[in-house]
Amino acid sequence: MEEETLQVFFFSHPLFSIFITLYSLILIYFPNDLLRIFLSPVLLISGALLLSLLRLGSTREPNTQPDKSYEESEEPKVFLVRESDLMGGFVEWNLRAPLEVIHEAYEEEEEEEDPTRFRKMERFPSLSVCYPESDSESDSASSSEFNFPEIGDWNSPENMGFRWEDDEGGIGCEVYSEANPSYSNNGVETKTRKKKVVLLGTGWAGASFLKTLNNSSYEVQVISPRNYFAFTPLLPSVTCGTVEARSVVEPIRNIARKNVEMSFLEAECFKIDPGSKKVYCRSKQGVNSKGKKEFDVDYDYLVIATGAQSNTFNIPGVEENCHFLKEVEDAQRIRSTVIDSFEKASLPGLNEQERKRMLHFVVVGGGPTGVEFASELHDFVNEDLVKLYPKAKNLVQITLLEAADHILTMFDKRITEFAEEKFTRDGIDVKLGSMVVKVNDKEISAKTKAGEVSTIPYGMIVWSTGIGTRPVIKDFMKQIGQGNRRALATDEWLRVEGCDNIYALGDCATINQRKVMEDIAAIFKKADKENSGTLTMKEFHEVMSDICDRYPQVELYLKSKGMHGITDLLKQAQAENGSNKSVELDIEELKSALCQVDSQVKLLPATGQVAAQQGTYLAKCFDRMEVCEKNPEGPIRIRGEGRHRFRPFRYRHLGQFAPLGGEQTAAQLPGDWVSIGHSSQWLWYSVYASKQVSWRTRVLVVSDWMRRFIFGRDSSRI
């Protein structure tokens, strides 16, 4: 799909839409007192200048009138990623929708100041879905899990090794926290004792949890091997120096709110022991007087947000020879390896073939990360490096290997097509249906669908095919009987199934959404207040909103069918069953009405967007734990008495971007809006700038972009 053939629907001039986008984004995201500065004429004029300098071409294609090809394809047009993509063969698990939502905290702070706000929202169900404020209590027998023990009942010793003041006694025993077992009986301590939340990981989930948590009755202990949060969506930009590594990180200590007692330990958790409520950790450096690197930490609540690791699928040679792109250090290493390749190829004593090999960059995996890296690299080479290494120009080759039939399969077809065409035009060799089978230090072998194995010499490989489970999670899953899974199973309130006071979120967990059909009998019974064996429409309507809350698939199903309310569904079912009396409903009719609903249960993609929303959600649950204990906010318990404490977690998809290089980005926004071109690049800039966790990183990222515009990317090998 050529850019020129896309048509402009909304505004006659692209500049107009860009300005509206930019300024409405500024209006939404920037604190009020700065608004005046941003709306000043100086900025407007310089912005206009910059924009016009870039000779904009923009396209936006709303999908309000679906075109023919779209109607032909029978796929339901939901805004969640299709399961088939999620579970699709080789690229399984490699879903990286663009960033989200660490900023939600800001918006909601304001809301909390307005006590009538929540009421208002509940009148508009579609809005209230956006802010799943709360919930608790699984409807299974384990409903006591979430009840806080009285303060007197607490038996986990409160004294932690990381208290600096009184450590002297710790000498001589392995781990300090075991040294003062009687510490918790200290009366003064007991009085002020706070509930101890241990948070593992400082990624998207952990950071947004910390940023939102705002209740001084907790003592938060964060444990992670890295003392900062990294804004992963910009990592591909870091690989080529478009953005500096330091501009995308923020020390985790700056992220937590000041009124929450938070301490951080730079260590890796290697074992979780739910029995003794301890986590065992290891620091990179020798720590105590015995040179021991290991210690343990007690918890009252454990929040697991350790993310996932790169997955090599056990393909031989991948671990040893490929670069991954997961951490900031990976991005830095990739950057210097790219420069190294050019320097290596400039050395004497090589023939052209060898130089070509050294300058052959292979990207494995056609997901957003692989595609973005390939296009960043292409821009880096063509905009900056060929100027300094003119002889390299004709020798550089970028190849993208993808096992599926298309790249960017989680995006709209139009985007996929555009991306493939653009890459072909740019000279990036996209090899579809190529499954890597072996890698050695100089060659990579891939098998086509037909079974042919071809071997290509390479200089550098970046491996970005998907994510796998971290060893500590694998071990923990074995302990709790989830050994055959890929990620920790949690309920809709993010509680790890089968554990007390342990939560898991982000890439290391998946939500096990309860199915309607499993609970259909209980639902019927609950709704049938008169115990008549049939439901009147009135009875049904009374439980309806609770059911929609509890089973989000219902709403998704209605949306996918274009229905406006559950009544439509019931009517349709009754019509199909031939029973047109329509006043009462028996269980069979209810079953047949809802039988298709569970097909809409989706695994959430492993993206920062999901992780951040989960972190925010969980922090709010923690914040309101006591309040909601007294006034539960969740839906009716289907198989118990009363209500759930919190509403279950609900994911709100805000769209995803695929930067394609050359100042062009594809954006897929909720409601199947697709926008490709320079305007979405600007949207991308604005969204990513506004989503930064701190003003420091925001300013740095924006000035990095400006630096790149003016001076290009740096090629010093440091």
Ligand X SMILES: Cc1cc2nc3c(=O)[nH]c(=O)nc-3n(C[C@H](O)[C@H](O)[C@H](O)COP(=O)(O)OP(=O)(O)OC[C@H]3O[C@@H](n4cnc5c(N)ncnc54)[C@H](O)[C@@H]3O)c2cc1C
| Contact footprint for ligand X (CB under 6 A) | 96-100, 200-206, 223-226, 232-233, 235-236, 268-269, 305-307, 325-326, 369, 470, 472, 506-508, 606-609, 611
Residue 562 binds: one of its own copies, ligand X, none (C-beta under 5 to 8 A by kind): none
Q: Is the dihedral of CA 85, 90, 92, 95 positive or negative?
A: negative
Q: How far is the CB of 183 from its own copies (least distance, A)?
A: 13
Among residues 132, 170, 307, 634, which is the contact residue for its own copies, using CB under 8 A? 170
CA distance 107 to 620: 13
Q: Which of residues 350-379 bind its own copies (CB under 8 A)?
A: 350-352, 354-355
Q: Which residues, numbered 256-275, are part of the site for its own copies (CB under 8 A)?
A: 263-267
Residue 609 site contact among ligand X, its own copies, none (CB < 5 to 8 Å, cut-off depends on kind): ligand X
- Can you give the length of the chain in residues? 718
If binding is defined by CB under 8 A, does position 413 make contact with its own copies?
Answer: no
In eight-state DSSP terms, residue 671 is T
Q: Give the residues across from 489 on adjacent strands.
A: 510
Question: For the chain, what is the total number of helices (H) and then of strands (E)?
Answer: 28, 27
Between 306 and 465, CB nearer to ligand X: 306
- Which entry of its own copies, ligand X, none binds 170, CB below 5 to 8 A by partner kind? its own copies
Q: Does 443 bind its own copies (CB under 8 A)?
A: no
Distance CA(485)–CA(467), nearest Å, equals: 14
**233 contacts which partner out of its own copies, ligand X, none, CB within 5 to 8 A by kind?**
ligand X
Q: Which residues pair with 221 in a beta bridge?
A: 198, 263
The angle formed by the CA atoms of residues 646, 651 and 653, to the nearest 5 degrees, is 155
Q: In the set 93, 131, 146, 176, which binds its own copies (CB under 8 A)?
A: 176
Give 97 or 621: the residue with its C-beta nearer to ligand X.
97
Q: Which does 264 bind (CB under 5 to 8 A by kind): its own copies, ligand X, none?
A: its own copies
Q: H or E element: which one contains 331? A: helix 328-345
Closest C-alpha to 28, from 83, 132, 101, 99: 101
Strands 218-224 and 323-324: unpaired
What kind and span of H or E run contains 52?
helix 41-53
Q: Which is nearer to ligand X, 161 or 307 (CB)?
A: 307
**Cβ closest to its own copies, residue 346 vs residue 572:** 346
The nearest distance, CB 539 to ligand X, in angstroms, is: 42
C-beta closer to ligand X: residue 154 or 705: 705
**Residue 230 or residue 363: which is nearer to its own copies going by CB?**
230
Task: Determine the 3-state secondary structure of 632 from DSSP.
Answer: coil
* 461 within 8 A of 321, measured Cβ to Cβ: yes
Q: Is 184 one of the binding residues for its own copies (CB under 8 A)?
A: no
- Specify the stretch interacting with its own copies by CB under 8 A; choose among 26-34, 184-192, 285-293, 683-691: 285-293
Query: What CA–CA distance (Å, rounded) separates 79 from 708?
Result: 34
Quick check: 348 binds its own copies (CB under 8 A)?
Answer: yes
Would you say 236 or 317 has its CB closer to ligand X?
Answer: 236
> Of its own copies, ligand X, none, which one does residue 235 interact with (CB within 5 to 8 Å by kind)?
ligand X
In sequence order, the 6+-apart residues with CB closer than 8 A to the CB of 304 are: 200, 201, 272, 473, 476, 488, 496, 502, 503, 504, 505, 508, 509
> Between 340 and 421, whose beta carbon lies closer to its own copies?
340
Which CB sits closer to ligand X, 14 or 367? 367
Show the tokens assigned to 512.
């096990």
Does residue 45 bind its own copies (CB under 8 A)?
no
The nearest distance, CB 256 to its own copies, in angstroms, is: 10
- Computed from CA positions of residues 627, 628, 630, 631, in that sequence, does the dihedral angle turn out positive or negative? positive
Q: Which of 115, 349, 451, 578 binds its own copies (CB under 8 A)?
A: 349
Residue 226 or 559 having the CB closest to ligand X? 226
Beta strands per DSSP E along 188-276? 195-200, 218-224, 228-230, 249-251, 261-266, 268-273
Q: How far apart, in Å, are the Cα atoms of 417 and each of 412, 424, 432, 448?
A: 9, 11, 13, 21
Residue type, 659: P
Among 164, 192, 314, 580, binds its own copies (CB under 8 A): 164
The minimum distance between CB 197 and its own copies, in angstroms, equals 17
Q: What strand order describes the sheet that includes 460-463? A: 323-324, 460-463, 360-364, 397-401, 429-431
Whose Cβ is closer to its own copies: residue 396's or residue 621's?
A: 396
Query: How near is the Cβ of 368 to its own copies at its closest, in Å?
Result: 23
The one of its own copies, ligand X, none whose footprint includes residue 632, by CB under 5 to 8 A per kind, is: none
Residues 6+ away with beta carbon under 8 Å from 24: none
| Partner that binds at residue 326, options its own copies, ligand X, none, CB closer than 5 to 8 Å by kind | ligand X
Binder of its own copies out of 81, 245, 398, 611 (CB under 8 A): 245
Residues 6+ apart with CB under 8 A from 357: 442, 457, 458, 459
Tell me, residue by residue from 686 to 715, as one string, x for binding to its own copies by CB under 8 A and - for no binding: ---------xx--xx--x---x--xx--xx
Of the candidate residues 156, 254, 479, 510, the single one contacting its own copies (CB under 8 A): 254
CA gap 623, 217 in Å, rounded: 9
695 contacts which partner out of ligand X, its own copies, none, CB within 5 to 8 A by kind?
its own copies
Shortest Å distance, C-beta 284 to its own copies: 8
> In 225-308, where do the E strands start and end?
228-230, 249-251, 261-266, 268-273, 278-282, 294-298, 301-304
Instruction: Estimate the crossing angle of helix 41-53 against helix 14-29, to 10 degrees.
Output: 130
Query: What amino acid is encoded at 171 in this protein?
Result: I
Site residues for its own copies per CB under 8 A:
160-164, 167-168, 170-171, 175-177, 226-228, 241, 244-246, 249-251, 253-254, 263-267, 283, 285, 287-289, 292, 295, 297, 328-329, 332, 339-340, 343-344, 346-352, 354-355, 388-389, 391, 695-696, 699-700, 703, 707, 710-711, 714-718
